[in-house]
Amino acid sequence: MTQTSDLFKNIPSPCFVLEEALLERNLAIFERLQREAPINVLLALKGFSLFHTFPMIRKTLQGVSASSLWEAQLGAEEFGKEVHVYSPAYRNEDLPQILPLASHITFNSMTQWERFAHIIATSSSHLSIGLRINPEYSPVKTALYNPCMPNTRLGISQNQLGDTLPKGIEGFLSHNLCESDSYALEKTLLQIELLFGRFLPQLKWLNLGGGHLMTRKDYNVEHAIEVIKAFHDRYPHIQLIIEPGSAIAWETGFLLSTVQDLIPTPALINAMLDISFTAHTPDCLEMPYKPVIRGAHEPQDGEKVYRMGGASCLAGDFIGDYAFAEDLSIGDRLIFEDMMHYTMVKTSMFNGVLHPSIGTIEKDGSFVLWRQFSYQDYRARLG
Protein backbone atom coordinates (compact mmCIF):
# COMPACT_ATOMS: atom_id res chain seq x y z
CA MET A 1 0.00 0.00 0.00
CA THR A 2 2.04 2.96 1.27
CA GLN A 3 5.63 2.99 0.00
CA THR A 4 7.95 4.52 2.62
CA SER A 5 11.46 3.28 1.70
CA ASP A 6 14.17 5.84 0.98
CA LEU A 7 14.06 4.82 -2.70
CA PHE A 8 10.38 5.65 -3.06
CA LYS A 9 10.78 8.87 -1.11
CA ASN A 10 13.20 10.03 -3.82
CA ILE A 11 10.68 9.42 -6.62
CA PRO A 12 8.48 12.42 -7.44
CA SER A 13 4.75 11.82 -7.57
CA PRO A 14 3.24 11.12 -10.01
CA CYS A 15 5.91 9.23 -11.95
CA PHE A 16 6.25 6.46 -14.52
CA VAL A 17 9.09 4.22 -13.34
CA LEU A 18 10.81 1.60 -15.49
CA GLU A 19 12.65 -1.23 -13.73
CA GLU A 20 15.75 -1.97 -15.75
CA ALA A 21 16.25 -5.53 -14.49
CA LEU A 22 12.71 -6.49 -15.56
CA LEU A 23 13.23 -5.11 -19.06
CA GLU A 24 16.44 -7.13 -19.32
CA ARG A 25 14.48 -10.24 -18.25
CA ASN A 26 11.99 -9.73 -21.10
CA LEU A 27 14.70 -9.12 -23.69
CA ALA A 28 16.29 -12.46 -22.77
CA ILE A 29 13.13 -14.22 -24.03
CA PHE A 30 13.39 -12.53 -27.41
CA GLU A 31 17.10 -13.23 -27.57
CA ARG A 32 16.25 -16.90 -27.13
CA LEU A 33 13.46 -16.71 -29.73
CA GLN A 34 15.79 -15.29 -32.38
CA ARG A 35 18.49 -17.78 -31.49
CA GLU A 36 16.23 -20.84 -31.77
CA ALA A 37 13.83 -19.75 -34.54
CA PRO A 38 14.36 -18.08 -37.93
CA ILE A 39 12.66 -14.78 -37.08
CA ASN A 40 13.60 -11.13 -36.54
CA VAL A 41 12.06 -9.12 -33.70
CA LEU A 42 11.37 -5.39 -33.89
CA LEU A 43 10.25 -2.93 -31.22
CA ALA A 44 6.81 -1.47 -32.02
CA LEU A 45 7.11 2.18 -31.06
CA LYS A 46 3.33 2.54 -30.89
CA GLY A 47 3.40 0.35 -27.79
CA PHE A 48 6.65 1.45 -26.13
CA SER A 49 8.86 4.32 -27.24
CA LEU A 50 10.87 5.20 -24.15
CA PHE A 51 14.05 6.02 -26.04
CA HIS A 52 16.20 6.14 -22.90
CA THR A 53 15.99 2.34 -22.96
CA PHE A 54 16.99 1.93 -26.62
CA PRO A 55 20.72 1.33 -25.93
CA MET A 56 19.70 -1.76 -23.96
CA ILE A 57 16.98 -2.93 -26.36
CA ARG A 58 18.98 -2.61 -29.58
CA LYS A 59 21.48 -5.16 -28.29
CA THR A 60 18.74 -7.77 -28.82
CA LEU A 61 16.19 -6.49 -31.33
CA GLN A 62 16.78 -5.88 -35.03
CA GLY A 63 15.11 -2.49 -35.31
CA VAL A 64 11.81 -0.69 -34.80
CA SER A 65 8.41 -0.47 -36.42
CA ALA A 66 6.90 2.98 -36.84
CA SER A 67 3.39 4.14 -37.69
CA SER A 68 4.09 7.77 -38.55
CA LEU A 69 6.76 10.22 -39.64
CA TRP A 70 7.55 11.19 -36.06
CA GLU A 71 7.91 7.60 -34.90
CA ALA A 72 10.16 6.91 -37.91
CA GLN A 73 12.30 9.90 -36.97
CA LEU A 74 12.56 8.71 -33.38
CA GLY A 75 13.52 5.21 -34.47
CA ALA A 76 16.12 6.42 -36.94
CA GLU A 77 17.65 8.94 -34.52
CA GLU A 78 17.61 6.92 -31.31
CA PHE A 79 17.58 3.22 -32.25
CA GLY A 80 19.85 3.28 -35.27
CA LYS A 81 18.96 -0.04 -36.92
CA GLU A 82 16.17 -1.10 -39.30
CA VAL A 83 13.08 1.14 -39.45
CA HIS A 84 9.91 -0.58 -40.73
CA VAL A 85 7.15 1.94 -41.46
CA TYR A 86 3.44 1.32 -41.91
CA SER A 87 0.66 3.90 -41.89
CA PRO A 88 -3.06 3.47 -42.61
CA ALA A 89 -2.79 6.51 -44.91
CA TYR A 90 0.38 8.40 -45.82
CA ARG A 91 0.21 12.13 -46.41
CA ASN A 92 1.82 13.70 -49.48
CA GLU A 93 3.87 15.91 -47.19
CA ASP A 94 5.15 13.06 -45.00
CA LEU A 95 6.17 10.31 -47.39
CA PRO A 96 9.21 12.07 -48.93
CA GLN A 97 10.54 12.60 -45.39
CA ILE A 98 9.83 9.01 -44.36
CA LEU A 99 11.58 7.35 -47.28
CA PRO A 100 15.18 8.27 -46.35
CA LEU A 101 14.57 6.98 -42.81
CA ALA A 102 12.95 3.65 -43.66
CA SER A 103 14.41 0.26 -44.52
CA HIS A 104 10.90 -1.16 -45.15
CA ILE A 105 7.66 0.61 -45.96
CA THR A 106 4.20 -0.95 -46.08
CA PHE A 107 1.01 0.34 -47.69
CA ASN A 108 -2.48 -0.21 -46.33
CA SER A 109 -4.34 -0.29 -49.66
CA MET A 110 -3.76 -0.71 -53.36
CA THR A 111 -4.83 2.89 -53.96
CA GLN A 112 -2.13 4.15 -51.56
CA TRP A 113 0.49 1.98 -53.28
CA GLU A 114 -0.57 3.11 -56.73
CA ARG A 115 -0.66 6.73 -55.63
CA PHE A 116 2.90 6.72 -54.30
CA ALA A 117 4.60 4.06 -56.46
CA HIS A 118 6.21 6.68 -58.70
CA ILE A 119 7.76 8.42 -55.68
CA ILE A 120 9.13 5.09 -54.44
CA ALA A 121 10.55 4.35 -57.89
CA THR A 122 12.61 7.55 -57.88
CA SER A 123 13.75 7.26 -54.26
CA SER A 124 16.48 5.31 -52.53
CA SER A 125 16.93 1.76 -53.85
CA HIS A 126 17.44 0.27 -50.38
CA LEU A 127 13.70 0.31 -49.58
CA SER A 128 11.76 -2.92 -49.39
CA ILE A 129 8.04 -2.45 -50.12
CA GLY A 130 5.13 -4.35 -48.59
CA LEU A 131 1.34 -4.45 -48.42
CA ARG A 132 -0.78 -4.92 -45.32
CA ILE A 133 -3.15 -7.85 -45.71
CA ASN A 134 -6.35 -8.72 -43.85
CA PRO A 135 -6.19 -12.38 -42.76
CA GLU A 136 -9.88 -12.24 -41.82
CA TYR A 137 -9.14 -13.77 -38.44
CA SER A 138 -8.49 -12.24 -35.03
CA PRO A 139 -8.95 -13.63 -31.51
CA VAL A 140 -9.43 -10.09 -30.15
CA LYS A 141 -12.83 -9.62 -28.51
CA THR A 142 -12.67 -5.86 -27.86
CA ALA A 143 -13.80 -4.13 -31.07
CA LEU A 144 -11.55 -1.13 -30.46
CA TYR A 145 -8.50 -3.39 -30.86
CA ASN A 146 -9.77 -5.79 -33.53
CA PRO A 147 -8.31 -4.89 -36.96
CA CYS A 148 -10.21 -7.70 -38.70
CA MET A 149 -13.71 -6.60 -37.76
CA PRO A 150 -16.28 -6.53 -40.60
CA ASN A 151 -15.78 -3.57 -42.96
CA THR A 152 -12.34 -2.88 -41.49
CA ARG A 153 -10.28 -0.04 -42.91
CA LEU A 154 -7.05 -1.91 -42.19
CA GLY A 155 -5.45 -4.16 -44.78
CA ILE A 156 -6.11 -5.62 -48.21
CA SER A 157 -8.42 -8.62 -48.55
CA GLN A 158 -7.38 -11.53 -50.73
CA ASN A 159 -10.07 -10.84 -53.33
CA GLN A 160 -8.56 -7.40 -54.00
CA LEU A 161 -5.42 -8.99 -55.41
CA GLY A 162 -5.02 -11.02 -58.57
CA ASP A 163 -2.70 -13.98 -58.83
CA THR A 164 0.57 -12.07 -58.98
CA LEU A 165 1.97 -9.45 -56.66
CA PRO A 166 2.22 -5.92 -58.07
CA LYS A 167 5.69 -5.17 -59.40
CA GLY A 168 7.95 -3.94 -56.62
CA ILE A 169 6.09 -5.58 -53.72
CA GLU A 170 8.34 -7.83 -51.64
CA GLY A 171 6.48 -8.43 -48.39
CA PHE A 172 3.24 -8.68 -46.44
CA LEU A 173 2.30 -7.25 -43.07
CA SER A 174 -0.43 -9.03 -41.11
CA HIS A 175 -1.37 -7.44 -37.81
CA ASN A 176 -4.38 -9.15 -36.20
CA LEU A 177 -3.40 -10.04 -32.63
CA CYS A 178 -3.48 -8.27 -29.26
CA GLU A 179 -1.82 -9.79 -26.19
CA SER A 180 -2.41 -13.19 -27.83
CA ASP A 181 -0.87 -16.64 -27.38
CA SER A 182 1.16 -18.98 -29.60
CA TYR A 183 -1.96 -20.80 -30.79
CA ALA A 184 -3.33 -17.56 -32.22
CA LEU A 185 0.01 -17.17 -34.01
CA GLU A 186 -0.35 -20.69 -35.42
CA LYS A 187 -3.91 -20.04 -36.61
CA THR A 188 -2.84 -16.73 -38.17
CA LEU A 189 -0.17 -18.44 -40.28
CA LEU A 190 -2.62 -21.11 -41.39
CA GLN A 191 -5.13 -18.43 -42.33
CA ILE A 192 -2.52 -16.53 -44.33
CA GLU A 193 -1.64 -19.71 -46.20
CA LEU A 194 -5.33 -20.37 -46.88
CA LEU A 195 -6.16 -16.88 -48.19
CA PHE A 196 -2.83 -15.63 -49.55
CA GLY A 197 -0.93 -18.85 -50.22
CA ARG A 198 -0.63 -18.15 -53.95
CA PHE A 199 1.56 -15.14 -53.17
CA LEU A 200 3.88 -16.74 -50.63
CA PRO A 201 6.36 -18.09 -53.23
CA GLN A 202 6.77 -14.47 -54.42
CA LEU A 203 7.50 -12.92 -51.00
CA LYS A 204 10.83 -12.01 -49.45
CA TRP A 205 9.39 -11.26 -46.01
CA LEU A 206 6.28 -11.69 -43.90
CA ASN A 207 5.75 -9.40 -40.93
CA LEU A 208 3.32 -10.91 -38.41
CA GLY A 209 2.83 -7.63 -36.58
CA GLY A 210 2.39 -7.30 -32.85
CA GLY A 211 0.23 -8.84 -30.16
CA HIS A 212 2.58 -11.78 -29.45
CA LEU A 213 2.67 -11.68 -25.65
CA MET A 214 5.71 -13.94 -25.29
CA THR A 215 6.76 -12.44 -21.97
CA ARG A 216 3.53 -13.34 -20.20
CA LYS A 217 4.11 -16.18 -17.73
CA ASP A 218 1.67 -18.58 -19.40
CA TYR A 219 2.87 -17.99 -22.97
CA ASN A 220 4.17 -21.19 -24.62
CA VAL A 221 7.42 -19.98 -26.16
CA GLU A 222 8.41 -23.53 -27.13
CA HIS A 223 5.22 -23.92 -29.17
CA ALA A 224 5.80 -20.55 -30.87
CA ILE A 225 9.31 -21.66 -31.86
CA GLU A 226 7.90 -24.90 -33.31
CA VAL A 227 5.25 -23.00 -35.28
CA ILE A 228 7.79 -20.56 -36.72
CA LYS A 229 10.24 -23.31 -37.66
CA ALA A 230 7.49 -25.35 -39.32
CA PHE A 231 6.40 -22.37 -41.44
CA HIS A 232 10.02 -21.68 -42.37
CA ASP A 233 10.43 -25.30 -43.47
CA ARG A 234 7.52 -24.78 -45.87
CA TYR A 235 8.71 -21.38 -47.09
CA PRO A 236 12.46 -21.16 -46.41
CA HIS A 237 12.87 -18.12 -48.68
CA ILE A 238 10.62 -15.91 -46.50
CA GLN A 239 12.12 -13.84 -43.69
CA LEU A 240 9.67 -13.85 -40.79
CA ILE A 241 9.31 -10.75 -38.62
CA ILE A 242 7.32 -9.84 -35.51
CA GLU A 243 7.02 -6.43 -33.87
CA PRO A 244 5.77 -6.71 -30.27
CA GLY A 245 4.94 -3.59 -28.32
CA SER A 246 3.31 -4.81 -25.13
CA ALA A 247 5.53 -7.87 -24.78
CA ILE A 248 8.81 -5.93 -24.68
CA ALA A 249 7.67 -3.74 -21.77
CA TRP A 250 5.27 -6.24 -20.13
CA GLU A 251 5.46 -5.96 -16.32
CA THR A 252 8.62 -3.82 -16.46
CA GLY A 253 7.48 -0.82 -14.46
CA PHE A 254 4.79 1.08 -12.61
CA LEU A 255 3.01 4.38 -12.18
CA LEU A 256 3.51 5.95 -8.76
CA SER A 257 0.72 8.16 -7.39
CA THR A 258 -0.26 9.83 -4.12
CA VAL A 259 -3.62 10.01 -2.34
CA GLN A 260 -4.71 13.66 -2.23
CA ASP A 261 -8.13 13.31 -0.62
CA LEU A 262 -10.60 10.72 0.69
CA ILE A 263 -14.29 11.33 -0.05
CA PRO A 264 -16.74 8.99 1.72
CA THR A 265 -20.07 7.98 0.18
CA PRO A 266 -22.69 5.54 1.51
CA ALA A 267 -21.20 2.61 -0.44
CA LEU A 268 -17.47 3.39 -0.68
CA ILE A 269 -14.66 5.89 -0.24
CA ASN A 270 -13.32 7.77 -3.25
CA ALA A 271 -9.53 7.93 -3.07
CA MET A 272 -8.59 11.07 -5.01
CA LEU A 273 -5.19 10.71 -6.68
CA ASP A 274 -2.67 12.93 -8.42
CA ILE A 275 -2.98 10.89 -11.63
CA SER A 276 -5.76 10.89 -14.22
CA PHE A 277 -6.89 7.66 -15.82
CA THR A 278 -8.29 9.43 -18.87
CA ALA A 279 -5.07 11.44 -19.34
CA HIS A 280 -2.38 9.06 -18.10
CA THR A 281 -3.67 5.47 -18.46
CA PRO A 282 -6.47 5.69 -21.06
CA ASP A 283 -6.28 1.96 -21.87
CA CYS A 284 -7.82 1.32 -18.45
CA LEU A 285 -10.96 3.07 -19.67
CA GLU A 286 -10.78 2.02 -23.34
CA MET A 287 -10.22 -1.74 -22.99
CA PRO A 288 -11.41 -1.51 -20.18
CA TYR A 289 -9.31 -3.23 -17.55
CA LYS A 290 -8.70 -2.87 -13.84
CA PRO A 291 -5.02 -2.30 -13.05
CA VAL A 292 -3.29 -4.06 -10.18
CA ILE A 293 -2.34 -1.88 -7.21
CA ARG A 294 0.56 -3.20 -5.17
CA GLY A 295 -0.73 -4.36 -1.78
CA ALA A 296 -4.42 -4.09 -2.71
CA HIS A 297 -6.97 -6.87 -3.19
CA GLU A 298 -10.56 -7.42 -4.33
CA PRO A 299 -12.97 -6.18 -1.63
CA GLN A 300 -14.63 -8.87 0.46
CA ASP A 301 -17.93 -8.56 2.35
CA GLY A 302 -17.55 -6.19 5.26
CA GLU A 303 -14.30 -4.63 4.06
CA LYS A 304 -13.83 -0.92 3.46
CA VAL A 305 -14.04 -0.24 -0.30
CA TYR A 306 -11.87 2.37 -2.02
CA ARG A 307 -12.56 3.59 -5.57
CA MET A 308 -9.60 5.20 -7.33
CA GLY A 309 -10.53 8.70 -8.50
CA GLY A 310 -8.58 10.54 -11.20
CA ALA A 311 -7.36 14.12 -10.98
CA SER A 312 -9.33 15.53 -13.92
CA CYS A 313 -12.85 16.95 -13.76
CA LEU A 314 -14.20 14.27 -16.13
CA ALA A 315 -16.97 12.45 -14.25
CA GLY A 316 -15.82 9.08 -15.55
CA ASP A 317 -12.18 9.55 -14.58
CA PHE A 318 -12.14 6.75 -12.01
CA ILE A 319 -11.21 3.10 -12.04
CA GLY A 320 -11.98 0.05 -9.98
CA ASP A 321 -12.85 -0.81 -6.39
CA TYR A 322 -10.10 -2.04 -4.08
CA ALA A 323 -9.53 -3.02 -0.46
CA PHE A 324 -6.35 -2.72 1.60
CA ALA A 325 -5.00 -4.42 4.70
CA GLU A 326 -4.79 -1.00 6.38
CA ASP A 327 -6.94 2.09 5.91
CA LEU A 328 -5.73 4.59 3.35
CA SER A 329 -4.65 8.03 4.48
CA ILE A 330 -4.04 11.27 2.63
CA GLY A 331 -0.41 11.28 1.53
CA ASP A 332 -0.18 7.52 1.02
CA ARG A 333 1.65 6.49 -2.12
CA LEU A 334 0.09 3.87 -4.39
CA ILE A 335 1.81 1.85 -7.09
CA PHE A 336 -0.15 0.89 -10.21
CA GLU A 337 1.64 -2.13 -11.64
CA ASP A 338 2.55 -2.85 -15.28
CA MET A 339 2.23 0.69 -16.63
CA MET A 340 4.99 0.86 -19.25
CA HIS A 341 3.30 -0.47 -22.41
CA TYR A 342 0.48 1.45 -24.13
CA THR A 343 0.38 4.00 -21.32
CA MET A 344 3.11 6.57 -21.75
CA VAL A 345 2.60 6.57 -25.52
CA LYS A 346 -1.06 7.52 -25.04
CA THR A 347 -0.85 10.13 -22.31
CA SER A 348 -2.30 13.59 -22.77
CA MET A 349 -2.29 16.86 -20.86
CA PHE A 350 -6.08 17.03 -20.67
CA ASN A 351 -7.34 19.46 -18.04
CA GLY A 352 -3.81 20.72 -17.46
CA VAL A 353 -3.32 17.96 -14.89
CA LEU A 354 0.29 17.58 -13.76
CA HIS A 355 1.94 15.14 -16.14
CA PRO A 356 3.79 12.19 -14.53
CA SER A 357 7.56 12.37 -14.47
CA ILE A 358 9.65 9.62 -16.05
CA GLY A 359 12.47 7.69 -14.42
CA THR A 360 14.09 4.31 -13.95
CA ILE A 361 15.20 2.02 -11.18
CA GLU A 362 18.56 0.76 -12.40
CA LYS A 363 19.91 -2.70 -11.80
CA ASP A 364 21.90 -1.51 -8.79
CA GLY A 365 18.65 -0.33 -7.16
CA SER A 366 19.22 3.41 -7.61
CA PHE A 367 16.58 5.73 -9.06
CA VAL A 368 17.38 8.01 -12.01
CA LEU A 369 14.97 10.79 -12.98
CA TRP A 370 14.81 11.29 -16.75
CA ARG A 371 12.17 13.93 -17.18
CA GLN A 372 9.84 16.21 -15.24
CA PHE A 373 7.13 18.21 -16.99
CA SER A 374 6.17 21.83 -16.47
CA TYR A 375 3.55 24.42 -17.34
CA GLN A 376 5.65 25.34 -20.37
CA ASP A 377 5.23 21.78 -21.75
CA TYR A 378 1.45 22.13 -21.38
CA ARG A 379 1.42 25.60 -22.91
CA ALA A 380 3.62 24.62 -25.87
CA ARG A 381 1.05 22.04 -27.02
CA LEU A 382 -1.58 24.75 -27.38
CA GLY A 383 0.17 27.27 -29.60
Q: For residue range 113-123, what is the model confidence (pLDDT) as tens digits?
A: 999 998 888 87
Residues 47 and 170 in one domain: yes
Containing structural domain, residue 312: 7-17+253-339+347-381
Residue 163's pLDDT band, with cuts at 50, 70 and 90, is: confident
Q: Is a pLDDT exceeding 70 seen at residue 2?
A: no
Last residue within a domain, chosen from 195, 225, 248: 248
Residue 153 above 90 pLDDT? yes
- Tell whether residue 261 is among the known ligand binding residues: no
- Looking at 52-154, list the stretches that DSSP marks H as alpha helix, in order from N- to C-terminal side: 54-57, 69-74, 95-98, 110-121
The pTM assigned to this predicted structure is 0.94
- Out of 223, 248, 273, a domain closes at 248
* 134 and 59 assigned to the same domain: yes
Q: Which of 201, 216, 248 is the last residue of a domain?
A: 248
**Does residue 71 sit in the same domain as residue 216?**
yes
Residues 6+ apart with CB under 8 A from 172: 130, 131, 132, 133, 192, 196, 199, 203, 205, 206, 207
55, 78: one domain: yes
Same domain, 170 and 123: yes
Same domain? 129 vs 154 = yes
Q: What is the pLDDT of residue 126?
A: 82
Give pLDDT tens digits for 37-55.
Answer: 999 999 999 999 999 999 9
The amino acid at 266: P
Do 179 and 262 have their domain in common? no
Residue 32 lies in a domain: no
- Confidence band for 9, pLDDT divided at 50, 70 and 90: confident
Instruction: Tell which phi-psi region holds residue 365, choosing left (phi > 0), alpha (psi between -120 and 50) or beta.
Output: left
Q: Is residue 71 part of a domain?
A: yes
Tell me the C-alpha to C-alpha distance, in Å, between residue 251 and each of 18, 41, 235: 9, 19, 35
Number of domains composing the chain: 2
User: Each residue of 43-72: b (16+ CB within 10 Å) or e?
Assistant: bbbbbbbbbebbeebbebbbbbbbebbebb
